Chains A and B, each alone.
Chain A
Amino acid sequence: MNTHQLAGVAARLKVNLEEKTFHSSNSGTIEVLRDLRFEVEQNEFACILGPSGCGKTTTLRILLGLDSDYHGSIQLPGLADARIGAVFQEPMLLPWRTVEQNVRLAMPRPMRETNLDSLFSTLGLSKMRNFYPAELSLGLARRAAIARALAIEPDILLLDEPFVSLDESTAQQLRHMLLSVWSERPTTALMVTHNLQEAIMLADRIIVLSERPAHVIGTFDIRLPRNYRNEQVKADLLRSFNEKFAGVRNAP
């Protein structure tokens, strides 16, 4: 039914999803994805942007290996068995384990004893290592989830709207933190979002999806390094993005 190609040395992410349909309990069907094809280069940070309910999360679930009921093929970067760092919409920390235990449990056994001091300090979690998730604010819990995803030194980083339902200043702080930990050890990254400004700030490439059934309308490459993206540049990028995709997507 589907081929989950993992072999090969290609370090890029290749997604070629021909079709994905959900069957509801009363025998109705909803076609979510149709001919969704895109690639993400090695160590490239790509954002998937699209209207809500278009199948962004479904695409991510397929890449995470949580949904195998689809037609098509995907190829994850890295040799043989790609290690995936995932940040879910909810932090999904185990409430009965401390922040540090949560991070270490996700790591492969040989890595469990690695020193995580610099990761925790970059994310501002040094003092929270022994806290339980219930004692953290949503922003801190999100940081812990990001720490968990990066501590395993992933071959690919998949993020599903990691900054949603945070106030803008907290979200902005987290974006900067994510960038600084990601830059220390760049890896192929794919982030789902519906926030254009966020995508323009973080991404090397924005992949724009259509309404359901989702396919790629077009991509928007941003070659400018992130540290040159000041407010003026971002405003220009936003304008040229809106010109390119005029009428296709709702205004941010």
Chain B
Amino acid sequence: MVLLSFGALVVAWHLGATIWPSRSFPAPLLVLQTFISETASGDLPYNLGITLCRVAASFVLAMLIGSVIGVLLGSHRRADQFFNPWVILFLNIPALVIIVLAYIWFGLNEAAAIGAVALNKIPNVVVTMREGTRALDPRYAEMAQVYRFNALDRLRHILIPQLQPYIAAASRSGISLIWKIVLVVELLGRSNGVGFQINLFFQLFDVAAILAYTLAFVAVMLFIELVVVQPLEHTSTRWRRSAA
């Protein structure tokens, strides 16, 4: 079904490109040729790899920091009341502003790039994880206290399983947001990565190459979703499926 749906889209695209031939609207075959030549030259795998590393680094950073802050705010009412305006403020600062400021303050380097992307995502993670923490069942924590669970066991067996749906939600929305922001960061201040390449092709008006890079990246993300995220989710929610 998925294949059929994508197939129909490609056919429609091909028909459109045949009826209205234009340099700025290349046919799918031309995009495929560009993809192959870019892959053969090594440019595409290299830049794709760089971008993926940045996405992964920002994602891990944002999820870790955001989860810790979210759990703390969710479990301490006072701290939440105090810091809530900050969260709202950061939620509403445009991604572009954070990126530009990060480059101005910390220079055009990798740390500034990854930090800026993570900073864009952190408030979202905080909000989701804060909701998750508020929904925790205190009786499990009491059970753990009576049976003297140590800190690691509480984290692994009490906290994370209860937060799992919220972690999944934050990751899902996070990965798509982060990769879009990573491209902007690369476009503005890096000399490699998919975003940089797209800027280059933009100046050359090479739409086929732009599409080749974009589709390659989307394909990778789709692969991660189908092969990593969904099976993982299936395993971790196994206990839910067979309710008596």
- Known pairs A97-B157, A105-B153, A135-B244 / 16 extra A-B pairs, C-beta < 8 Å: A64-B146, A66-B142, A83-B148, A84-B146, A94-B157, A94-B161, A95-B239, A96-B161, A96-B236, A96-B239, A106-B149, A132-B238, A134-B239, A134-B243, A135-B243, A152-B147
Residues of chain B in range 143-200 having any CB-CB distance to chain A below 8 Å: 143, 145-149, 153, 157-158, 161, 164
Measured between C-beta atoms, what is the minimum distance from B2 to chain A in Å?
30
Measured between C-beta atoms, what is the minimum distance from B194 to chain A in Å?
38
Query: Does A11 have its Cβ within 8 Å of any Cβ on chain B?
Result: no
Query: In the complex the two chains form, is A105's CB within 8 Å of B149's CB?
Result: yes
| Separation of A137 and B143 alpha carbons in the complex (Å) | 20
Q: Which residues of B contact A90 (CB under 8 A)?
A: 139
| Separation of A66 and B141 alpha carbons in the complex (Å) | 10
Measured between C-beta atoms, what is the minimum distance from B139 to chain A in Å?
6
| Separation of A20 and B234 alpha carbons in the complex (Å) | 47
| Separation of A135 and B153 alpha carbons in the complex (Å) | 24
Residue of B nearest to A141 (CB): B244
Query: Does A163 have its Cβ within 8 Å of any Cβ on chain B?
Result: no
Q: Which residues of A contact B148 (CB under 8 A)?
A: 83, 108
Q: Which residues of B contact A88 (CB under 8 A)?
A: 139, 143
Q: List 22 A-B contacts (CB under 8 A).
A: A64-B142, A65-B145, A83-B148, A84-B146, A86-B143, A86-B146, A92-B139, A92-B143, A94-B140, A94-B157, A95-B240, A96-B236, A96-B239, A97-B161, A105-B153, A134-B242, A134-B244, A135-B243, A136-B244, A137-B244, A148-B147, A152-B147
Measured between C-beta atoms, what is the minimum distance from A50 to chain B in Å?
22
Q: Which residues of B contact A132 (CB under 8 A)?
A: 238-239, 242
Q: A80-92 interface mask toward B, CB cutoff 8 Å, 1 = contact, 0 = none?
A: 0001101010101
Measured between C-beta atoms, what is the minimum distance from B68 to chain A in Å?
22
Residue of B nearest to A145 (CB): B143
Query: In the complex the two chains form, is B140's CB within 8 Å of A92's CB?
Result: yes
Counting contact residues on chain A (CB < 8 A from B), the size range is 20 to 34
Q: Which residues of A contact B147 (CB under 8 A)?
A: 86, 105-106, 148, 152
Tally the A-B contacts, defined by beta carbons under 8 Å.
55
Query: In the complex the two chains form, is A105's CB within 8 Å of B157's CB?
Result: yes
Q: Which residues of A contact B139 (CB under 8 A)?
A: 88, 90, 92
What DSSP secondary structure best describes chain B's contact surface?
helix
Q: Which residues of A contact B157 (CB under 8 A)?
A: 94, 96-97, 105
Measured between C-beta atoms, what is the minimum distance from A135 to chain B in Å?
5
| Separation of A22 and B149 alpha carbons in the complex (Å) | 28
Residues of chain B in range 110-132 having any CB-CB distance to chain A below 8 Å: none
Query: In the complex the two chains form, is B239's CB within 8 Å of A66's CB?
Result: no
Measured between C-beta atoms, what is the minimum distance from A45 to chain B in Å?
20
| Separation of A64 and B142 alpha carbons in the complex (Å) | 9
Q: Which residues of B contact A105 (CB under 8 A)?
A: 147, 149, 153, 157
| Separation of A33 and B135 alpha carbons in the complex (Å) | 31
Q: Which residues of B contact A137 (CB under 8 A)?
A: 244
Measured between C-beta atoms, what is the minimum distance from B158 to chain A in Å?
7
Query: In the complex the two chains form, is B244's CB within 8 Å of A65's CB?
Result: no
Residue of B nearest to A61 (CB): B142
Residues of chain A in range 122-142 having any CB-CB distance to chain B below 8 Å: 132-137
Residue of A nearest to B160 (CB): A96
| Separation of A97 and B158 alpha carbons in the complex (Å) | 10
| Separation of A105 and B239 alpha carbons in the complex (Å) | 17
Residue of A nearest to B158 (CB): A94
Measured between C-beta atoms, what is the minimum distance from A100 to chain B in Å?
13
| Separation of A135 and B242 alpha carbons in the complex (Å) | 7
| Separation of A64 and B139 alpha carbons in the complex (Å) | 13
| Separation of A155 and B113 alpha carbons in the complex (Å) | 57
Q: Which residues of A contact B242 (CB under 8 A)?
A: 132, 134-135
Q: Which residues of A contact B142 (CB under 8 A)?
A: 64, 66
| Separation of A97 and B146 alpha carbons in the complex (Å) | 18
Q: Which residues of B contact A152 (CB under 8 A)?
A: 147
Q: Which residues of A contact B145 (CB under 8 A)?
A: 65-66
Q: Which residues of A contact B149 (CB under 8 A)?
A: 105-106
